[in-house]
Chain A
Amino acid sequence: MISLFTDHLLSLIIAVPFIGIAILAFVRDDRLIRRISLACTLVDVALFLLLWIGFDSEQKGMQFVERMQWMPTLKIQYAVGVDGISILLLLLTIVLSPLCILCSWSAVTKHVRAFMMLILLVEGAMIVVFSALDLFLFFMLWEVTMIPMYFLIVLWGGPRRIAAGLKFVLYSLTGSLLLLVGILALYAEGGGTFDIETLSQQSYTPTAQWWMFLAFFLSFAIKLPMLPFHTWLPDAHAEAPTAGSVILAGVLLKMGGYGFLRIGLPMFPDASVQFAPWIIWLSVVGILYGGLMALAQDDIKKLVAYSSISHMGFVTLGIFSFTEQGIQGAILQMFNHGIVTGAIFLCVGQLYERTHSRSINAYGGLHKQMPRFVALFCLFTIASFALPGTGSFIGEFLVLLGAAEVNLIAAFLALGGILLAAAYMLWMLQRVVLGQPATSTAAVLPDLTRRETATLIPLAILVLWVGVFPRPLIHCMDEAVSNVVEMHKGVGKSNAPITSSQTVESPPAKSD
Chain B
Amino acid sequence: MSAFYVLIALLPLLAAIVIALAGHRLGEASRKVGTLAIGTSFGLSVLAFLQLVVSGQPIFIPLYQLLKTGDLTINLALYVDQLSVLVLLLVTGVSFVVHAYSSRYMIGDTRYSRFFALMALFTFAMVTLVMSSNLLMIFICWELMGICSYLLISHQSERKAACNAATKAFLVNAVADVGLLFGLVLTYTTFGTLDIKEILELAPSISGQTINLLSATGGDLQIQTVTLITLFLFAGCAGKSAQIPFHVWLPQAMEAPTPVSALIHAATMVNAGPFLLIRLSPLVMLSPAAMMVIAIVGGTTALFAGIVSLTQTDIKKSLAYSTISQIGFMIMTCGLGAFVAALFHLLAHGLLKGYLFLSTGNQLEAAATHGHSHADGDSGHDKPTWSLHLGALALACVPPVILFSGPYQQLWTAHQSQAAQVVFIVIGLLTVFFTAMYCVRGVTTLFHHNPDQTIKPKFYSRFHLLVVSAGILLLVAALLLLWSWFKPFLMPALGEPYIITTTLWQPISGVSLLVTALIAAACGWAIASVLPTTFNLFSLFPAGVRKRLYVLFLNKFYFDETYDVCVVQPVIRISRWICRVVDDGIVDRVIVQLGRSCVGMAIWIWRTIDVRGIERSAVNAGSRSVALAHWLWTYIDVRPFDSDSNPKPNSAATTDANSDLHDVAARPLQHQLLVQVLWLIVAITFFYWLVLYP
Distance (whole angstroms) from the CB of A75 to the closest CB of chain B: 11
Q: Are A471 and B144 in contact (CB under 8 A)?
A: no
B51-78: which residues lie under 8 A (CB-CB) from chain A?
64-70, 72
Q: Judge if A73 is at the interface, Cβ distance under 8 Å.
A: yes
On chain B, the number of residues with a Cβ less than 8 Å from chain A's Cβ atoms is 58
Known A-B contacts A228-B587, A293-B583; the reply to A412 vs B182 at CB < 8 A is yes
Known A-B contacts A324-B69, A422-B171, A423-B171; the reply to A408 vs B213 at CB < 8 A is yes
Known A-B contacts A293-B579, A422-B171; the reply to A400 vs B216 at CB < 8 A is no
Distance (whole angstroms) from the CB of B172 to the closest CB of chain A: 11
Q: Are B576 and A296 in contact (CB under 8 A)?
A: yes
Chain B CB within 10 Å — which of A297, A329, A426 has the most?
A: A426
Q: Are A295 and B572 in contact (CB under 8 A)?
A: yes
A391-419: which residues lie under 8 A (CB-CB) from chain B?
393-394, 397-398, 400-401, 404-405, 407-412, 415-416, 418-419
Q: Judge if A492 is at the interface, Cβ distance under 8 Å.
A: no
In the assembly, what is the distance between CA of A338 and CA of B166, in Å? 28
In the assembly, what is the distance between CA of A485 and CA of B64, in Å? 27
Distance (whole angstroms) from the CB of B179 to the closest CB of chain A: 9
Q: Are B72 and A73 in contact (CB under 8 A)?
A: no
A210-233: which residues lie under 8 A (CB-CB) from chain B?
228, 230-231
Residues of B within 8 A of A423 (CB): 171, 174, 571
In the assembly, what is the distance between CA of A409 and CA of B70, in Å? 22
Q: Judge if A474 is at the interface, Cβ distance under 8 Å.
A: yes
Q: Mark B160-193, 1 if CB is under 8 A from A, else 0.
A: 1001101100110011001001101110110000
Known A-B contacts A404-B186, A407-B216; the reply to A418 vs B178 at CB < 8 A is yes
Q: Mark A53-85, 1 if CB is under 8 A from B, else 0.
A: 000000000000000000001000000000000
Q: Which of B143, B583, B591 is close to A388, meaning CB atoms less than 8 Å apart? A: B143
Known A-B contacts A295-B571, A404-B185; the reply to A426 vs B154 at CB < 8 A is no
In the assembly, what is the distance between CA of A73 and CA of B588, in Å? 44
Q: Judge if B595 is at the interface, Cβ distance under 8 Å.
A: yes
In the assembly, what is the distance between CA of A412 and CA of B211, in Å? 15
Residues of B within 8 A of A433 (CB): 157
Q: Mark B303-330, 1 if CB is under 8 A from A, else 0.
A: 0000000000000000000000000000
Distance (whole angstroms) from the CB of A80 to the closest CB of chain B: 25
Residue ID in chain A nearest B179 by CB atoms = A415
Q: Judge if A190 is at the interface, Cβ distance under 8 Å.
A: no
Distance (whole angstroms) from the CB of A289 to the closest CB of chain B: 7
Residue ID in chain A nearest B568 by CB atoms = A423
Q: Judge if A8 is at the interface, Cβ distance under 8 Å.
A: no
Residues of A within 8 A of B188 (CB): 401, 404
Q: Are B67 and A404 in contact (CB under 8 A)?
A: no
Q: Are A231 and B588 in contact (CB under 8 A)?
A: yes
Distance (whole angstroms) from the CB of A414 to the closest CB of chain B: 10
Q: Judge if B508 is at the interface, Cβ distance under 8 Å.
A: no
Distance (whole angstroms) from the CB of A502 to the closest CB of chain B: 27
In the assembly, what is the distance between CA of A295 and CA of B65, in Å? 37
Q: Are B160 and A292 in contact (CB under 8 A)?
A: no
In the assembly, what is the distance between CA of A430 and CA of B158, in Å? 11
Distance (whole angstroms) from the CB of B432 to the closest CB of chain A: 38
Q: Judge if A200 is at the interface, Cβ distance under 8 Å.
A: no
Q: Mark B23-52, 1 if CB is under 8 A from A, else 0.
A: 000000000000000000000000000000
Q: Are A471 and B189 in contact (CB under 8 A)?
A: no
Q: Which of A292, A382, A471 is close to B65, meaning CB atoms less than 8 Å apart? A: A471
Q: Are B182 and A415 in contact (CB under 8 A)?
A: yes
In the assembly, what is the distance between CA of A387 and CA of B177, in Å? 11
Distance (whole angstroms) from the CB of B236 to the closest CB of chain A: 12
Q: Judge if B217 is at the interface, Cβ distance under 8 Å.
A: yes
Q: Are B170 and A422 in contact (CB under 8 A)?
A: yes
Residues of A within 8 A of B186 (CB): 404, 408
In the assembly, what is the distance between CA of A401 and CA of B191, in Å? 12
Known A-B contacts A231-B583, A231-B587; the reply to A296 vs B185 at CB < 8 A is no
Residues of A within 8 A of B181 (CB): 397, 400, 415, 418
Residues of B within 8 A of A401 (CB): 72, 185, 188-189
Q: Which of B140, B151, B579, B591 is close to A389, meaning CB atoms less than 8 Å apart? A: B140
In the assembly, what is the distance between CA of A327 and CA of B1, in Å? 41
Q: Judge if B455 is at the interface, Cβ distance under 8 Å.
A: no
Q: Judge if A478 is at the interface, Cβ distance under 8 Å.
A: yes
Q: Judge if B459 is at the interface, Cβ distance under 8 Å.
A: no
Q: Judge if A384 is at the interface, Cβ distance under 8 Å.
A: no
Q: Judge if A342 is at the interface, Cβ distance under 8 Å.
A: no
Q: Judge if A470 is at the interface, Cβ distance under 8 Å.
A: yes
Q: Which of B67, B141, B167, B184 is close to A430, meaning CB atoms less than 8 Å apart? A: B167
Known A-B contacts A382-B147, A415-B182, A434-B157; the reply to A292 vs B70 at CB < 8 A is no
Q: Judge if B692 is at the interface, Cβ distance under 8 Å.
A: yes
Distance (whole angstroms) from the CB of A270 to the closest CB of chain B: 21
Q: Are B578 and A289 in contact (CB under 8 A)?
A: yes
In the assembly, what is the distance between CA of A436 and CA of B160, in Å? 8
Residues of A within 8 A of B143 (CB): 387-389, 393
Residue ID in chain B nearest A375 by CB atoms = B20
In the assembly, what is the distance between CA of A484 and CA of B278, in Å? 42
Q: Mark A406-450, 1 if CB is under 8 A from B, else 0.
A: 011111100110110011001100100111100000000000000
Distance (whole angstroms) from the CB of B29 to the closest CB of chain A: 18
Q: Are B69 and A478 in contact (CB under 8 A)?
A: yes
Q: Judge if B215 is at the interface, Cβ distance under 8 Å.
A: yes
In the assembly, what is the distance between CA of A284 and CA of B497, in Å? 44
Q: Judge if A131 is at the interface, Cβ distance under 8 Å.
A: no
A445-472: which residues lie under 8 A (CB-CB) from chain B?
469-471
Q: Are B139 and A388 in contact (CB under 8 A)?
A: yes
Residue ID in chain B nearest A411 by CB atoms = B185
Residues of B within 8 A of A405 (CB): 189
Q: Are A387 and B591 in contact (CB under 8 A)?
A: no
Q: Judge if A97 is at the interface, Cβ distance under 8 Å.
A: no
Q: Are B68 and A435 in contact (CB under 8 A)?
A: no
Residues of B within 8 A of A387 (CB): 143-144, 147
Q: Are A474 and B175 in contact (CB under 8 A)?
A: no
In the assembly, what is the distance between CA of A292 and CA of B571, in Å? 8
Q: Judge if B620 is at the interface, Cβ distance under 8 Å.
A: no
In the assembly, what is the distance between CA of A387 and CA of B185, in Å? 16
Q: Which of A388, A412, A419, A474 is close to B144, meaning CB atoms less than 8 Å apart? A: A388
Residue ID in chain A nearest B141 by CB atoms = A388
In the assembly, what is the distance between CA of A324 and CA of B186, in Å? 17
Q: Mark A274-312, 1 if CB is under 8 A from B, else 0.
A: 000000000000000100110111000000000000000
Q: Are B189 and A404 in contact (CB under 8 A)?
A: yes
Distance (whole angstroms) from the CB of B600 to the closest CB of chain A: 15
Q: Are A398 and B69 in contact (CB under 8 A)?
A: yes
Distance (whole angstroms) from the CB of B146 to the closest CB of chain A: 8
Residues of B within 8 A of A230 (CB): 587
In the assembly, what is the distance between CA of A511 and CA of B67, in Å? 48
Q: List 26 A-B contacts (CB under 8 A).
A: A167-B591, A230-B587, A292-B578, A296-B579, A297-B579, A325-B70, A365-B158, A387-B143, A387-B144, A389-B140, A389-B144, A393-B140, A394-B67, A400-B181, A400-B185, A401-B185, A409-B217, A411-B182, A415-B181, A426-B167, A427-B167, A469-B64, A469-B66, A470-B66, A471-B65, A474-B68
Question: B: which residues have CB within 8 A of A?
Answer: 64-70, 72, 136, 139-144, 147, 150-151, 154, 157-158, 160, 163-164, 166-167, 170-171, 174-175, 178, 181-182, 184-186, 188-189, 211, 213-217, 571-572, 574-576, 578-580, 583, 587-588, 591, 595, 692
Closest 6 CB pairs of A and B: A324-B70, A388-B140, A296-B579, A292-B575, A296-B575, A295-B575
Question: A: which residues have CB within 8 A of B?
Answer: 73, 167, 170-171, 228, 230-231, 289, 292-293, 295-297, 323-325, 328-329, 365, 367-368, 378, 382, 387-389, 393-394, 397-398, 400-401, 404-405, 407-412, 415-416, 418-419, 422-423, 426-427, 430, 433-436, 469-471, 474-475, 478, 482, 485
